[in-house]
């Protein structure tokens, strides 16, 4: 094939250029119209974004919970509720909980006290990489409801236990009355009268202990909470029961793995609860046997376990063991474990009982812990 003449070639080039130009114009027009479409879409999307932002803002603004967005420890944004809880909150400032917030029961719970008011706050943090969302909620009424429910439950239990009270009061009272009636009997020797007076006194002391325990049982939830190391509570409870264990040749073995763990408690109430459970263990333990009290730290909680080598809990007693006067034992007031449960639950803790594989009962107490020291 021979090459075309230069004239033909120039004409062809011109035609090609014209074709290309037409294509360019067409493509430009297409691009222009596409750009218009994209611009329109961008406008729409921007509008939607603004609307979504507005919706999100109004949602955050109307939330009763405070929300703070923190990035790398710096406050990036927050809603008005967050500012209500922390008036001094500022963007780009370092995030920290205010010093006036005192740690309360349970992880993330704080008590904010002013002269006339007390407010309980719950702080929850959701972390995603360096960014975290902190949520602050007012749980004062939830705590009040919890206290009210506890009071109602206790009153209901008091009603249920009236039959038990009758038994617990009238049995020592019968003994006391029988001995009292002999004191005025002229035919009885002075020595016998002395013995009967002693027995009468013992029964009256039992009645006094029962009355004291009943008052403890109906007591309101603890109000004087203070941070106490778990080991202090455990050691005080062990010391309270130590002499009794020794006199009965029972070994009280301690295995505390909770050094440095602090819980917010009414100290005496919690020590009494632990002593009541140890006393219960003591009553079923024989000379030469061991009662073991151990503790360990769990995330946000501390667990205390009391093991005995007694006969264990009868299956029909399992469900009612912590109810007032559910005891099948002859000794004791029948209120010790009920008081212990009331004290533990009022500290937002839990108590459970089980029978151990090797025999004996296990009481497991879980309490919310504060931060480690």
Summarize as ranges the residues that interact with another protein (CB under 8 A): 163, 166-179, 181-182, 185, 187-188, 196, 199, 202-203, 206, 328, 330-331
Which residue lies nearer to another protein by CB, 66 or 336? 336
Helix (H) or strand (E) holding 125: strand 118-128
Angle between helices 140-160 and 336-346 (to 10 degrees): 170
Which residue lies nearer to another protein by CB, 202 or 235? 202
Contact present, 347 and 268 (Cβ < 8 Å): no
Which residue lies nearer to another protein by CB, 94 or 184? 184
Residue 116 to residue 229: CA distance in whole angstroms: 29
The nearest distance, CB 240 to another protein, in angstroms, is 25
Both structure tokens of 345:
């639950």
The nearest distance, CB 171 to another protein, in angstroms, is 5
CB under 8 Å to 245, separation ≥6 — which residues?
A: 251, 252, 282, 291
The nearest distance, CB 249 to another protein, in angstroms, is 21
Helix (H) or strand (E) holding 330: none
Which residue lies nearer to another protein by CB, 88 or 319? 319
The nearest distance, CB 209 to another protein, in angstroms, is 13
Residue at token pair 């917030």: 101
Which residue lies nearer to another protein by CB, 79 or 327? 327
The nearest distance, CB 321 to another protein, in angstroms, is 15
Residue at token pair 């909150």: 89
- Give strand ranges (E) for 320-360: 350-355
CB under 8 Å to 197, separation ≥6 — which residues?
A: 179, 183
Which residue lies nearer to another protein by CB, 133 or 165? 165
Nearest to 241 by CA among 295, 292, 203: 292
Helix (H) or strand (E) holding 180: helix 162-183
The nearest distance, CB 199 to another protein, in angstroms, is 7
Which residue lies nearer to another protein by CB, 228 or 313? 313
Residue 72 to residue 300: CA distance in whole angstroms: 24
Query: What are the φ/ψ torsions at residue 72 (nearest 5 degrees)?
Result: 55, 35
The nearest distance, CB 200 to another protein, in angstroms, is 9
């Amino acid at each position: 094939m021979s090459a075309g003449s230069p004239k033909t070639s120039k004409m062809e080039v011109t035609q090609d250029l014209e074709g290309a130009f037409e294509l360019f114009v067409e493509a430009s027009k297409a691009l222009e119209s596409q750009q218009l479409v994209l611009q329109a879409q961008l406008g729409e999307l921007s509008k939607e974004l603004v609307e979504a932002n507005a919706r999100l803002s109004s949602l955050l603004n109307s939330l009763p919970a405070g929300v703070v967005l923190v990035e790398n420890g710096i406050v990036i944004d927050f809603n008005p509720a967050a500012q209500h809880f922390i008036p001094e909150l500022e963007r780009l400032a370092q995030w920290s909980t205010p010093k006036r917030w005192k740690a309360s029961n349970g992880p993330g719970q704080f008590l904010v006290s002013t002269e006339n008011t007390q407010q309980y706050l719950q702080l929850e943090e959701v972390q995603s990489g360096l960014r975290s969302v902190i949520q602050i909620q007012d749980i004062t009424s939830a705590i009040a409801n919890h206290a009210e429910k506890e009071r109602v439950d206790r009153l209901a239990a008091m009603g249920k236990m009236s039959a038990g009270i009758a038994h617990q009061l009238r049995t020592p009272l019968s003994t006391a009355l029988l001995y009292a009636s002999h004191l005025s009997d002229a035919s009885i020797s002075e020595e016998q009268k002395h013995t009967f007076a002693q027995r009468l006194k013992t029964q009256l002391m039992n009645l006094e202990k029962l009355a004291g325990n009943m008052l403890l049982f109906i007591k309101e939830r603890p109000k004087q909470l203070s941070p106490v190391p778990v080991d202090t509570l455990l050691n005080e409870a062990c010391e309270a029961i130590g002499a009794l264990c020794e006199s009965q040749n029972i070994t009280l073995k301690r295995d505390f793995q909770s050094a440095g763990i602090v819980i917010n408690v009414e100290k005496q109430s919690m020590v009494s609860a632990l002593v009541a459970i140890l006393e219960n263990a003591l009553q079923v333990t024989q000379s030469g046997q061991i009662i073991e009290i151990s503790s360990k730290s769990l995330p946000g909680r501390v667990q205390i376990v009391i093991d005995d080598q007694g006969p264990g809990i009868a299956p029909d007693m399992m469900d009612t063991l912590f109810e007032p006067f559910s005891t099948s034992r002859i000794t004791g007031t029948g209120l010790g474990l009920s008081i212990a449960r009331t004290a533990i639950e009022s500290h937002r803790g839990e108590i459970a009982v089980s029978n151990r594989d090797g025999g004996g009962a296990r009481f497991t107490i879980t309490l919310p812990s504060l931060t480690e020291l």
